[in-house]
């Protein structure tokens, strides 16, 4: 069953084509990744998918409903974690979830019933009364995740969920996201970390300059486009032979040069 479908999205900012005829779909229970370098159009694509900005052409359907004409009904079934923290600095962790549940029209009683479960899931039970200013980066991101789950969404949308986190915090985040996937939740995520995409995504598409380059499961893409092994000659270290990974594929399609425009 198709949960989400974006077809032929186009978005221009002036003469700049940010999203260029991009199509993808997400089935129930899938984790679909949009990967690409900074400035590839990932965040704009998400904004279109969330109805926060209009595409110049193309359409987005979620849960069988057109997003632009059923915005509230669609948002009601989604949870979103944005790239930058938007937690309320004046609220404790509990109050952040309480206020957020109200934005979904939930009753205080229903929210308060869920708060202990969500804090436990985010490994923040001991921080229930703490404000975001007292939390580490990983804790803040997990609180954002907990907040986005308050309404038991069917589709979770994550914009670069582990950018800026230390390795421990990243692994905990991945573990939690896999836990959600195992309960049948669907995830749409963007990332520029190839190890993240390889670990989490059922399927992914690689985009650059707003265009889709390739799409498929991480394993099949690597098998299809790369030799099984890569030999790297690193100066001062020696010759290194290793399995090819998604990062090699990423470089193959998006190049190695630093982007001046991002």
- In b/e form, how buried is each residue of 82-109, taking b as 16+ CB within 10 angstroms? bbeeebeeeebbbebbbebbeebebeee
Number of Cβ within 10 Å of residue 17's Cβ equals 16
Q: How far apart are CA 230 and CA 244, in angstroms?
A: 6
**Nearest distance, CB of residue 66 and another protein, angstroms:** 14
Q: Give CA–CA dist 40/61, Å, rounded.
A: 22
Cβ at position 159, least distance to another protein in Å: 10
Report helix angle 246-254 to 218-225, nearest 10.
60
Between 91 and 174, CB nearer to another protein? 91
C-beta of 52 vs 220, nearer to another protein:
52
For another protein, give the closer residue by CB, 15 or 239. Answer: 15
Closest CB to another protein among residues 52, 217: 52
Task: Give the footprint of another protein on this chain (CB under 8 A).
Answer: 50, 52-54, 71-72, 75-76, 80-82, 84-91, 95, 98-100, 102-105, 148, 151
Q: Considering beta carbons, is residue 72 or 260 the nearer one to another protein? A: 72
Q: Give CA separation, 12 vs 22, 123, 171, 209, in Å.
A: 13, 41, 36, 11
For the bound state, the minimum distance from the C-beta of residue 168 to another protein, rounded and expressed in Å, comes to 25
Pick between residue 11 and residue 170 the one whose CB is nearest to another protein: 11
Q: Residue 42 or 212: which CB sits closer to another protein?
A: 42
Residue 241, CA distances (Å) to 128, 158, 212, 227 in order: 48, 34, 30, 12
Q: How far is the CB of 120 from another protein (least distance, A)?
A: 22
Contacts by 9-13, CB closer than 8 A, 24 or more apart: 9/45, 9/48, 9/55, 9/57, 9/58, 9/60, 10/55, 10/56, 10/57, 10/58, 11/41, 11/44, 11/48, 11/53, 11/55, 11/56, 11/210, 12/56
Q: Provide, rounded to whole angstroms, the least separation between the CB of residue 150 and another protein.
A: 9
Least separation in angstroms between residue 246's CB and another protein is 28
- Rounded to a whole number of angstroms, the minimum distance from the CB of residue 96 to another protein is 9
């Amino acid at each position: 069953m198709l949960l989400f479908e974006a077809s032929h999205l186009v978005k221009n900012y002036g003469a700049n084509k940010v999203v260029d005829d991009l199509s993808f779909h997400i089935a129930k229970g899938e984790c679909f990744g949009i990967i690409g370098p900074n400035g590839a159009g990932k965040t704009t694509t998400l904004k279109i998918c969330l109805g926060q900005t209009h595409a110049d052409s193309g359409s987005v359907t979620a849960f069988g409903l057109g997003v632009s004409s059923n915005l509230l009904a669609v948002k009601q079934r989604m949870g979103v974690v944005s790239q930058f923290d938007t937690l309320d600095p004046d609220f404790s962790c509990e109050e952040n979830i309480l206020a957020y549940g109200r934005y979904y029209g939930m009753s205080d009683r229903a929210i308060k019933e869920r708060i202990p479960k969500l804090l436990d899931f985010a490994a923040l039970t001991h921080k229930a009364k703490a404000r975001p200013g007292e939390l580490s980066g990983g804790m803040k991101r997990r609180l954002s995740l907990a907040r986005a789950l308050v309404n038991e969404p069917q589709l979770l949308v994550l914009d670069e969920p582990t950018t800026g986190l230390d390795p421990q915090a990243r692994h905990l985040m991945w573990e939690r996201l896999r836990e959600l996937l195992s309960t049948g939740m669907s995830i749409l995520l963007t990332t520029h970390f190839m190890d993240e995409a390889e670990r989490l995504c059922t399927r992914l598409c690689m985009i650059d300059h707003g265009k889709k380059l390739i799409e498929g499961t991480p394993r099949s893409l690597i098998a299809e486009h790369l030799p099984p092994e890569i030999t790297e000659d690193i100066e001062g270290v020696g010759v290194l032979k290793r399995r090819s990974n998604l990062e090699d594929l990423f470089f193959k399609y998006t190049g190695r040069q630093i982007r001046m425009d991002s």
